[in-house]
A and B are shown apart, each in its own frame.
Chain A
């Protein structure tokens, strides 16, 4: 089973809202990732968790706050986003270092 699940599939939020994206995997992978992808572009790495510890934060604005409650779960907390943050947010996991398996993504629109 190489499934990574993400919720919600779609999210529309105002610039003053607080929301969270959720990602789950049950493959026993020790590395989990958040990516942001704009249309017609490759994914951009935001955060990497390795063994539940944040190992990479690619200079992401503080309005994005990751959390890894346990080895299977990854959250991305969103607060005071800007319209330019509208994008597809992808979660991935891997048995490090190895193929990253991506979830279906959350399509985020910030109004």
Chain B
């Protein structure tokens, strides 16, 4: 069964702290996406990771991909309130542009 598991599903943290969201997937894939969604809004693309060992950074967010372990991480450094959102990972299964989505991680950052 094709599965993408994110954990944690909910994370409440203080500003200034570091934390990591994990995304495990069950099938071979060389393309993984991270999206952000603010409440009541649409999905915003954050990163696309294309190969084993890929690392991308944008501001306080850094994403990495280990295709052998079928694991991606989204690391938050020195969190700020503006990063509060739901974060989804999605895996390209190479079939007609379909993505398999994780359940999402709701991140709340308290001042």
Q: Footprint of B on A, CB under 8 Å?
A: 2, 31, 33, 40-43, 45, 48, 50, 55-56, 90, 92, 94, 96-105, 107
Instruction: Across the interface, name the chain B residue whose C-beta is closest to A105.
Output: B42
**Least Cβ–Cβ distance between A62 and chain B, in angstroms:** 21
| Complex: A2 Cα to B45 Cα, angstroms | 10
Q: Count contacts on B: residues with CB < 8 A to the other chain.
A: 23
Contact, CB under 8 Å: A96 / B97: yes
Q: Footprint of A on B, CB under 8 Å?
A: 31, 33, 35, 40-45, 48, 88, 90, 92, 94, 96-99, 101-104, 106
Q: Which of A31, A41, A50, A100 has the most CB of B within 10 A?
A: A100
Find chain A residues with CB under 8 A from B96 CB: 48, 50, 55-56
Find chain A residues with CB under 8 A from B94 CB: 97
Contact, CB under 8 Å: B43 / A90: yes
28 sampled A-B residue pairs with Cβ under 8 A: A2-B45, A33-B97, A40-B104, A41-B104, A42-B101, A42-B103, A43-B43, A45-B98, A45-B99, A50-B96, A50-B97, A55-B96, A90-B43, A92-B43, A94-B97, A97-B31, A97-B92, A98-B48, A99-B48, A100-B33, A101-B45, A102-B35, A102-B43, A102-B44, A103-B42, A104-B41, A104-B42, A105-B41
The contact of A48 among B41, B97, B101, by CB within 8 Å, is B97
